[in-house]
Structure 1
Amino acid sequence: MASTDKESAPTESILPPEEGVQGWICVVGGFLGLFGTFGFLNAVGVFQSIYEETSLKNYNSSEVSWIFAVQICLMWAGGPLWGRIIDTYGAAPVLYPCSLLCVFSLCMTSLADEYYQIFLAQGLGFGIGAGGVFTTSMVCVGQWFVKRRGLAVGIASCGSSFGGVIFPIFLNKVIEDVGFYGAVRYTALFVGVLLASACLMVRARVPRKTWNRKTPWFDVTLFKQKQFALLTVGTYLVMFVTTGLDAADKVYGSAASIPGRIIPPYLADHIGHFNVLTTCSLMTGGSMLVLWLPFNFHPSHAGIIVFALVYGFVSGAVVSLVMPCVAKSGSIETLGQRFGTFQLVISVSCLTGLPLMGGILSRQGGTDFSGLQIFAAVASLLGAGFLVCSTHLLSQSRGNWRV
């Protein structure tokens, strides 16, 4: 972290103090923002099941899954636009309209019964809005913290894990009382309260500046840095798995990812974010081979729960450590632009992961998971290999193993 401190030192005198009350308020706001956006996306299983049984019963699983693949992709794809705006004007120009778009999209979803209507409202509308809230939350929390950035981002990202536990339970309970469309309207209200609170709490640390037309939207020059390029490729492959894979029990996995988003990032602040990210990526692939693949041949509900807990813990750590690793490649003032460039690449992974894995499962009759398990494990381990190379190069360039 020493180099990060040096890189941000020239403007340190004009920035508010690191962390402080406002910094931790921003963490709480980021937690609520991710709770209402990324957390809600963890309820896709509920929506897919209902759509396949009701309004979209004439479409196959792969076609329905494209709605959610686009939704998840747009969580990342808008990064270059959102990041540049945040770097220049702060949080409000992105956070406020995107929060409104999320609530509006859910209200429109409650009125939709055709494929194109659901695609536009829940896929495009909510995906774009959620992407703005996600990017703002991650970038602003990253600006307020340097020495304990891993812990701060990890706590904020726990919001998505809490959402992954709460929203499926909330939807299933409310659907029993008021039906599916009524439950979506209550969800819109719930999300609206969460995002309104986030709008009051999330603030940028970096002061506003003049818009620079010469600044590139997608900074290709960043990939000239070998460690950043390898980090991006490695994360692409690992995220390809974590976004496309519906863990055996989503509730158990989401619950386990809560400590996974706090404990490893806390350790990473002391022994290096790249080191812990690489280790958790290796464990993600290893857990699929050791704890999931065997139960395809010898079914065990208890075994699947164990896998979900382990996988949820290590994959949660991967998601929360991405921002601190990207942040190490430059200064606080350009954090939004760099994270946005990174996000656009990862969005392609998110777009293709869910449909491709659904296609693999369909080819095997929907009951044999071995092909899916092997593919996911190999992709994750290959991604971890790229991260090993990135970590090695960075440690060599800094002369320190704590990277």
Structure 2
Amino acid sequence: MAEKPQNETTAPAPVPEELPPEGGIRGWLCVLGSFFCMFCSFGFLNSMGVFQKTYEETILHEYSPSSISWIFAVQLALVLALGPLYGRIFDTYGPAPVLYPCSVICVFSLCMTSLAHEYYQIFLAQGLLFGIGVGGLFSAGILCVGQWFVRRRGLATGIASTGSSVGGVICPIFMDRVMEKKGFAGATRYVALLMGVLLVAACILTRARLPRKKWNRELKWFDVTLFKQKEFMLFTVGTYLTMWGMWAPFNYISTMAVNQGFSPALALYLISMINATSVPGRVIPPFLADIFGHFNIFTLCACGSGVTIFALWLPFNYHHSHAGLIVFALIFGFFSGALVSLFMPCVAKLGKLETLGQRFGTFQIAISVSCLTGLPIEGALLHRQHDNDYSGLQIFSGLSLLLGTLFLGLSTSGLAKQRGTWKV
């Protein structure tokens, strides 16, 4: 048998890239694109209190706070409920088929909202249509970051999710200033223009790392068998309860402040304060989570949110204090900011990267029920207490967060035992 020449080398077989590169120019550009997606999705939703207050005082003044809150509850629910659809499309074809049409839908829906004068028109445009569009922005942005990062996923997701905090700071102030000159309809159209510009940038920057696949007709849209995994089931229940109570301050703190003598402008700025401190809340806890475990930090932040409501929000329902409400807004913003940025890394930790979209979609549709029902329940409690006593919705919100912490703790403990380490 002839020997190979000594100067001949055998090319090594290509090694499949199984793990993300943990960054690089394309990875961090994707984070920037996701930042814009979050700005236009949860950033806008975080300023829902501006619309709640405006609608109560103007075109929907004859409706109860609970009825008006259904508009925003549907928005929040659709962001998550359409997760299985968007997740399947993302897993198969990448972000483009989700991100491009949903960007157009969001801008169009805001333009229609600016023309609406009846409850059903606002519900269809801002509640239903905008919710459909914004769900695609959120899913495409957050899932794309999950493809580019594993070891630093918490930090990358946290940085991307600061877009929702920055949006929540800018939108209330922007709306308030523009409404003084252009009215509510004009301000809404200016927001639509801003959102259109940012979404063009998001569509350019957001790119998938994994190749496209063939559509799998046998893959389940909503995989109930995932709940047979005890840790996944406990985590979903815990997050459900957490989200049930988390949105109350975002929606009702402005109207509470006006009832307590705040100027209308300062009452709206409370929403910006919550979102301002959620910026470090979306970066520092996720950074620590990459070191000490995503489940551990998520559970601590859920507990901190519940304790803050009982310690710093409920007392000021009985003893009015401008400074007290401002302190609550700042502290609650930090803890609640971490919750939005950490639940995706936790879900990603419970399975394979290739099925992240399906698993996240199943999780999302379960959580969407929480978002759909939480705000109307709190609004009904407020209406039952003559629209000026906020203790009922405050207690409901705080108990939901603390009960959710219990289930999150059980999930964290079970996962720690399963993997033989406390860093989960």
TM-score by length of 2: 0.90
| 1:15, distance to aligned residue in structure 2 (A) | 6.7
- 2:185 — aligned with what? 181
- Aligned counterparts of 1:385 and 1:226: Cα–Cα separation in 2: 15
Aligned runs of 1:102-141 on 2, under 5 Å?
102-141=106-145
Deviates most, 359-368 or 101-110: 359-368
- Aligned counterparts of 1:298 and 1:193: Cα–Cα separation in 2: 44
- Aligned counterparts of 1:295 and 1:50: Cα–Cα separation in 2: 23
Partners of 1:241 and 1:380 within 8 A in 2: yes
- Aligned counterparts of 1:358 and 1:348: Cα–Cα separation in 2: 16
May I ask how many residue pairs the two structures share in their alignment? 393
> Is residue 2:354 matched to residue 1:333?
yes
Partners of 2:85 and 2:361 within 8 A in 1: yes
- Paired AA for residue 143 in structure 2: V
| 1:187, distance to aligned residue in structure 2 (A) | 1.1
Partners of 2:102 and 2:134 within 8 A in 1: yes
| 1:379, distance to aligned residue in structure 2 (A) | 1.1
Q: Flag as ranges the 4+ runs of structure 1 deviating above 6 A.
A: none
Aligned runs of 1:180-199 on 2, under 5 Å?
180-199=184-203
Q: Deviations over 1:78-128 (max 9, x none)?
A: 000000100000000000000010011111112211222111111111110
Partners of 1:15 and 1:205 within 8 A in 2: no
- Paired AA for residue 116 in structure 1: Y
1:203 to 204, 207, 212: 207
- Paired AA for residue 415 in structure 2: L
- 2:4 — aligned with what? none
Unmatched 5+ stretches in structure 1: 1-10
- Aligned counterparts of 1:349 and 1:189: Cα–Cα separation in 2: 31
Which structure has the greater CA radius of gyration?
Answer: 2
Aligned runs of 1:76-115 on 2, under 5 Å?
76-115=80-119
- 2:28 — aligned with what? 24
- Aligned counterparts of 2:61 and 2:328: Cα–Cα separation in 1: 31
- Paired AA for residue 18 in structure 1: E
Partners of 2:21 and 2:149 within 8 A in 1: no
Deviates most, 100-109 or 110-119: 110-119
Partners of 1:154 and 1:265 within 8 A in 2: yes
- 1:342 — aligned with what? 363
- Paired AA for residue 343 in structure 1: Q
TM-score by length of 1: 0.95
- 2:11 — aligned with what? none
- Paired AA for residue 359 in structure 1: A
- 1:43 — aligned with what? 47
Q: Aligned residues: percent identity? A: 63
Q: Deviations over 1:6-56 (max 9, x none)?
A: xxxxx9526763321111001111111110121111222222233233332
Partners of 1:15 and 1:207 within 8 A in 2: no
- Aligned counterparts of 1:53 and 1:296: Cα–Cα separation in 2: 21
> Is residue 2:373 matched to residue 1:363?
no
- Aligned counterparts of 1:377 and 1:57: Cα–Cα separation in 2: 28
Aligned runs of 1:4-403 on 2, under 5 Å?
13=17, 17-246=21-250, 248=253, 249-403=270-424
Query: CA distance change for structure 1 residues 361 and 58 in 2, over 3 Å: closer, same or farther?
Result: closer
| 1:298, distance to aligned residue in structure 2 (A) | 2.2
- Aligned counterparts of 2:188 and 2:66: Cα–Cα separation in 1: 23
Query: CA distance change for structure 1 residues 395 and 359 in 2, over 3 Å: closer, same or farther?
Result: same
Unmatched 5+ stretches in structure 2: 1-14, 254-269
Partners of 2:158 and 2:341 within 8 A in 1: yes
Aligned residue for 2:76, secondary structure, equals: helix
| 1:161, distance to aligned residue in structure 2 (A) | 0.7
| 1:301, distance to aligned residue in structure 2 (A) | 1.5
Partners of 1:36 and 1:163 within 8 A in 2: yes
| 1:69, distance to aligned residue in structure 2 (A) | 1.0
